[in-house]
Amino acid sequence: MDATTWSQTFTPASGNVISSLADLDTFVAALFAGRVVPPAQLAEMFTLPAVPDVAGGPARYSAGLTAFPLPGGEVLWIKTGSRFGYLTGVAATRDGRFRMQYSITATDAKGEELSRTAQAVIGAALGML
């Protein structure tokens, strides 16, 4: 199904940006290297609040990113987004040594099976499968 004619502007947070996975990689590399936002805002993006999440565990959401702890103490910082026709995400370690991007096309971007697919993509990229 061709989703390119569907309006992506129906939500206030939509950026209405069209990009490739290579574009996303370039952006994440520049963001994590401090070339996109001022140092104070970048620090805030990598600072988790000192409050528990709803399940009582440590907070995992910062200002715009989600922290995903990896075995060995490393943290993977993730940002995802979805609209009609796609589910996209970027993930990187703070130092940028590991970066990945994915885009999964589907008409039901909020479906549970796509979340499982995205988790499998990230797990495969990390060698966790």
Sign of CA dihedral 98, 29, 53, 102: negative
- If one compares 68 and 17, the residue with the highest pLDDT of the two is 68
| Three-state secondary structure call for residue 82 | strand
Q: Which helix (H) or strand (E) holds 43?
A: helix 39-45
| Three-state secondary structure call for residue 24 | helix
> pLDDT tens digit string along 5-49?
666 666 666 666 678 899 999 999 999 999 999 999 999 999 999
pLDDT for residue 3 is more than 80: no
pTM: 0.78
**pLDDT above 90: percentage of residues in the chain:** 38
> pLDDT tens digit string along 81-93?
777 667 888 999 9
Q: Do residues 28 and 20 lie in contact, with contact meaning Cβ atoms separated by under 8 Å?
A: no
Q: Locate the domains of the chain by residue range.
A: 21-51+60-125
> pLDDT tens digit string along 8-17?
666 666 666 6
